[in-house]
Copies of this chain bind each other. A is one copy, B any other.
């Protein structure tokens, strides 16, 4: 403990002196960060270093000093001071009370979403990318082109529907259709659909089929899956995956919808986009208990209006360190 106190005191003095030094070199009109009486300043710094709650204060003070230090014109002086500054930051980071860096990493989430895919591949898991997207943002195009670029299988509702149809006959496919048309069904039809699937609603049948399908595929291959609550299904089944949400400002999505669908009025486009967003919100909530489109429910969200379709694909490849994979595939 005594050693620790000594260390804190030594650090506080170093910080005080660094500030004084920077001020001396610059003669800055901004004055010094620690302009008061030396002993009082050092005592204040020590107090801040002693408590994690105050770490943001220390951080801001250091930022002020280093922001100024970077403006020192003479290269050698600047370099010496920045070396001292870096040492101080490193030493603070090593203090048990230093900076509030109690990590935010959630091991439960992180295990499923490792940023470093090289580590993940070691374990023999497949690379699975779940892409959620809002209507009209180009998310489907991004997912499809990404799958092609990475030579991974691609599953969206139509592909899965087709697989179900070919595997199990018409039943599951009808469930998908029913699922998509639920809003337009009368109560009688809904009861009929409900009875048809052994007491399970047709939506539930589809949900279970999708779960079974994805869990099975995850054992066999790398793939990209669009929507279908895949992120929630895989999380529930403890299957590692990366979840990405792609969206764009509503105004831009409406504009693009109009560019693609020439026979639609702006009002119709707006209504369609908004009703699709609502539908997604509702069904995602129902099956996952989570809020669709909320950033903290995904690993990353991308604004496709900022990057475009090609740019978003590049961004994902770069982010997931899949550059090497692409290179290998092209060679």
Contact = CB atoms under 8 A, between A and B. Distances in A.
Each complex incorporates copies of this chain amounting to 2
Interface in A268-318: 293, 295-311, 314-315, 318
Contacts of A296: 134, 247-250, 303, 305
A156 B104 contact: no
Contacts of A191: none
Given A256-B104, A260-B53, A110 B67 contact: no
A2 to B, nearest CB: 22
A138 interface: yes
Contacts of A25: none
A325 interface: no
Interface residues of A, number: 84
Contacts of A53: 260-261
A30 interface: yes
B141 A109 contact: no
Given A67-B153, A104-B253, 13 more contacts: A52-B260, A60-B158, A60-B159, A67-B155, A100-B140, A104-B138, A104-B256, A106-B249, A248-B296, A299-B303, A299-B307, A301-B301, A318-B318
